[in-house]
Structure 1
């Protein structure tokens, strides 16, 4: 998530220290607000992916499913918050040299680094333990694997070419898988292929946009941006987009033994808005303006409308109307 340094937030955020300087003491009463900001509330929308597998299987609308998915959403959010806290604590010095990230609470001195580590550690232990107590074993195992993978990413994997893309993509895929595991829903190969390559498409498009924006500028805290070429990142998001479209088309055209009782072939027709959505998103990727996926969707009405049409068709296909 990117924060903007505007006048309104300047009243709430203390002056950021320069590189190598000691951060200013945290403002009284601002620690809880800083912890919340560090937990990236805007990023929580990504965790809505926990409903993907149940929605695809048509098992979303029941009291049991809603309650279990709400619990999984909260647990995944706690895990993600733990990772953000640890990541910002580790990157505090580097973030102070970044024109945008220097306003993050830990880098700005609003949250002491030891406190960020401590709160992140508590959340990182609490979420898997709660999952082991309240959810099926596969859910607890996946949450634990997510935490281990993301913490390894914070420590070293984000400095390894290609592996960093794979780790972030796998994080999205885990979000999409965990809802199915929580409800005991089998995950189809087409669901995993489409979701995985769709996630890689957005991750690579975001990296490409960052590389374009930071080209020739100082203060890039994502070290690998200087090692990737924009041509390579363009190749990755184009390859991933094609694979995601192919996987979705194969799912839509597969009969799967479903009786033909629908008024219209909604499965096949849903390919149209899906492909249009990918093409529309690719416009922003090509321009180098594809930042956070939720920001791209929310700021572009055409993309939001295409997404709503696809969602309606997909729902009709699952309901077999």
Structure 2
């Protein structure tokens, strides 16, 4: 008499999606191995860690030596919150559009939408609501702030739908997001923005974006195109050329800006001159330090590089202290 085949333990007890995810991701932190509740997943999908990029709204007030003014602080806070909502709107839309490619990425597959923690229909509702909230908050400053935030949202929706697959234009679109963050701080506080400020911010943004793409190619290797279609059109040597050229231009434009401020004819305090000129030194070393991470292929998430590297944080603090001292003494207007 033949005996019936017995089922294995795995066949008798089906794994839940959360358990299956945990089983295939032993390298993840414990709090990411189990399925979070929907409210927590919605917050994670908004990528609050990346809101650190929105600190760029303080760049124009800092350069104009107005950051200590109460009204400027108020409008800067409004611009910061508005861009947090706007960025989260784009993250929701982008993650919905990229859900399949994200699932093939070693890190992005654990994003809440790609992991299935946030249903796509829910994301398509929450995303636009974040966009509306961004415009509502921006209106508390002035109509030009609303315009800048609206331009950011529209450009990046177009990017998510189409331009992210167009080589070179995808770099320009992402870099524009950093530039608009810097611009909105001045717009919200009605501050004048110099051409040097815009050039330095623009090419600095391109440096970070090209470095991010380069790191993605190094990380993914031959599978890079499966995660991001535009990467199939790039080579590592081309992206290296772009981020190195952008870094060079950023250092040059910042240096010209600093020396121009230091040589202002009506300079009220001659003591400001050395501070502005010396600020070039930590600025250069910030770029050299960040370039080291790009070259090693570990700059895929710029906020992680900045926040996790103590040397980078230290150099940034030194630069801010020196530059802020200089602009306060010179009474510059950005």
What's the TM-score, normalizing by structure 1? 0.89
Moved over 6 A (4+): none
TM-aligned CA deviation for residue 303 of structure 1: 2.1
Deviations 1:52-94 (A, max 9, x none): 0001101011222222111111111001111111111222222
User: Within the alignment, does 1:183 sit opposite 2:189 as a pair?
Assistant: yes
Task: Describe how 1:234-249 pairs up with structure 2 within 5 A.
Answer: 234-249=240-255
In structure 1, what is the equivalent of residue 302 of structure 2?
293
1:4·1:100 contact (CA, 8 Å) conserved in 2? no
The verdict on how the C-alpha distance between 1:241 and 1:107 changes in structure 2, with shifts beyond 3 A counting, is same
2:279·2:323 contact (CA, 8 Å) conserved in 1? yes
In structure 1, what is the equivalent of residue 318 of structure 2?
309
In structure 1, what is the equivalent of residue 179 of structure 2?
173
5+ unaligned residues in a row in structure 2: which ranges? 1-24
Is 68-77 or 280-289 further displaced after alignment? 280-289
Alignment partners' CA distance in 2, 1:231 and 1:153: 24
1:265 aligns to what SS in structure 2?
helix
User: Within the alignment, does 1:256 sit opposite 2:264 as a pair?
Assistant: yes
2:272·2:327 contact (CA, 8 Å) conserved in 1? no
TM-aligned CA deviation for residue 213 of structure 1: 1.2
Deviations 1:99-153 (A, max 9, x none): 3222211122211101101110112123224423x22121111100000001001
In structure 1, what is the equivalent of residue 282 of structure 2?
273
Task: Describe how 1:1-321 pairs up with structure 2 within 5 A.
Answer: 6-13=28-35, 30-132=37-139, 134-217=140-223, 220-254=226-260, 255-257=263-265, 258-262=267-271, 265-320=274-329
1:288 aligns to what SS in structure 2?
coil
TM-aligned CA deviation for residue 4 of structure 1: 9.5
1:298 aligns to what SS in structure 2?
helix
1:99·1:219 contact (CA, 8 Å) conserved in 2? no
Alignment partners' CA distance in 2, 1:223 and 1:204: 15
1:98·1:221 contact (CA, 8 Å) conserved in 2? yes
In structure 1, what is the equivalent of residue 6 of structure 2?
none
1:95·1:107 contact (CA, 8 Å) conserved in 2? yes
Alignment partners' CA distance in 2, 1:167 and 1:232: 18
1:5·1:103 contact (CA, 8 Å) conserved in 2? no
The verdict on how the C-alpha distance between 1:163 and 1:310 changes in structure 2, with shifts beyond 3 A counting, is same
TM-aligned CA deviation for residue 247 of structure 1: 0.2
The verdict on how the C-alpha distance between 1:10 and 1:53 changes in structure 2, with shifts beyond 3 A counting, is closer
TM-aligned CA deviation for residue 217 of structure 1: 3.2
Deviations 1:7-42 (A, max 9, x none): 4134433xxxxxxxxxxxxx7xx1111110000011
TM-aligned CA deviation for residue 263 of structure 1: 6.5
In structure 1, what is the equivalent of residue 16 of structure 2?
none
The verdict on how the C-alpha distance between 1:73 and 1:10 changes in structure 2, with shifts beyond 3 A counting, is closer
